[in-house]
Amino acid sequence: MDIRIERDEDGARRAVYRQIADQIRDAVARGSLGAGERLPAIRGLAAALGVNRDTVSLAYELLVRDGLLEATVGRGTFVRDQRGFRSDPRPAPPFAQSVERLLQFERARPSYAAVDGAVPLHALTPDPSLYPLDSFRRSLDRVLESSGSELLVYGEHQGSFDLRQSIAQRLATHQLAAAPEQIVLCQGASQGIYLAMRLFAEPGDWVAVEEPTYHNVLTALVALGLRAAPIPMTADGPDLDVLARTLARPEVKLFYTMPSFHNPLGATTTTAHRRALIEIAARLGKPIVEDGFEMDLRYAGEPVPPLAALDAHDLVVHLFSFSKSLFPGVRIGAITARGRSMEGLLALKNASDLSGAMILQAAVADFVNAGEYERHLSGLRKTLRKRRDAMIEGLIAHMPANARWTVPVGGYQLWLELPGEMDTRSLFSEAKHAGVLFAPGYQFHHDGRPSNAMRLTTALADTGEIERGIEILGRVVKRHLTHARRTARDRNVHV
Sole binder of a second copy in the list 201, 391, 439, 461 (CB under 8 A) = 201
Does position 42 interact with a second copy (CB under 8 A)? The reply is: yes
User: Residues in contact with a second copy, total (CB under 8 A)?
Assistant: 116
Q: How far is the CB of 491 from a second copy (least distance, A)?
A: 41
Q: Which residues contact 34 (CB under 8 A, 6 or more apart)?
A: 79
CA distance 190 to 449: 24
CB closer to a second copy, 74 vs 117:
74
Residues pairing with 301 in the sheet? none
CA-based R_g, the chain, Å? 24
Nearest approach, Cβ of 147 to a second copy (angstroms)?
Answer: 10
Of 19, 139, 191, 260, which one interacts with a second copy (CB under 8 A)? 191
Question: Cβ of residue 265: shortest distance to a second copy, in angstroms?
Answer: 22
Nearer to a second copy, 182 or 246 (CB): 182
Restricting to residues 283-302, name those near a second copy by CB under 8 A. 285-287
Residues 6+ apart with CB under 8 A from 489: none
Q: At what angle do helices 215-223 and 188-200 cross, to 10 degrees?
A: 50
String of DSSP letters for 190-219: HHHHHHHHHHH--TT-EEEEEES--HHHHH
Q: Is the Cβ of residue 90 or residue 491 nearer to a second copy in the bound state?
A: 90
Q: Write out the E strands in 286-441.
A: 288-292, 316-321, 333-336, 404-405, 413-417, 436-437, 439-440
Q: How far is the CB of 291 from a second copy (least distance, A)?
A: 14
- Over the window 245 to 274, marking each residue x when it contacts a second copy by CB under 8 A and - when it does not, the resulting string is --------xx--------------------
Is 188 one of the binding residues for a second copy (CB under 8 A)? yes
Interface with a second copy, residue 131, by CB under 8 A: yes
**Residue of 23, 57, 383, 426 interacting with a second copy (CB under 8 A):** 57
Residue selected from 54, 236, 241, 490 as contacting a second copy according to rule CB under 8 A? 54
Closest to 80 measured CA to CA, from 17, 38, 44: 38
3-class secondary structure, 376: helix
**What is the total residue count of the chain?**
495
190 forms part of the interface with a second copy (CB under 8 A): yes
What part of residues 448-487 is at the interface with a second copy (CB under 8 A)?
none
Site stretch for a second copy (CB under 8 A), options 322-330, 396-404, 447-455, 482-490 = 322-330
440 φ/ψ angles, rounded to the nearest 5 degrees: -60, 145
Part in contact with a second copy (CB under 8 A); list of ranges 51-59, 234-242, 295-303, 396-404: 51-59
Q: Closer CB to a second copy, residue 155 or residue 410? A: 155
Sole window of 1-9, 23-31, 114-122, 145-153 interacting with a second copy (rule: CB under 8 A)? 145-153
Helix and strand counts by DSSP (H, E) for the chain: 16, 16
Quote the CA–CA distance of 339 and 351 in Å, as a whole number: 20
Q: How far is the CB of 60 from a second copy (least distance, A)?
A: 6
Q: Stretches 201-209, 292-300, 442-450, 478-486: which one binds a second copy (CB under 8 A)?
A: 201-209
With CA atoms as reference, report the closest residue to 57 among 74, 37, 40. 40
203 lines the binding site for a second copy (CB under 8 A)? yes
C-alpha span between 316 and 167 (Å, rounded): 17
Does 156 contact a second copy by CB under 8 A?
Answer: yes
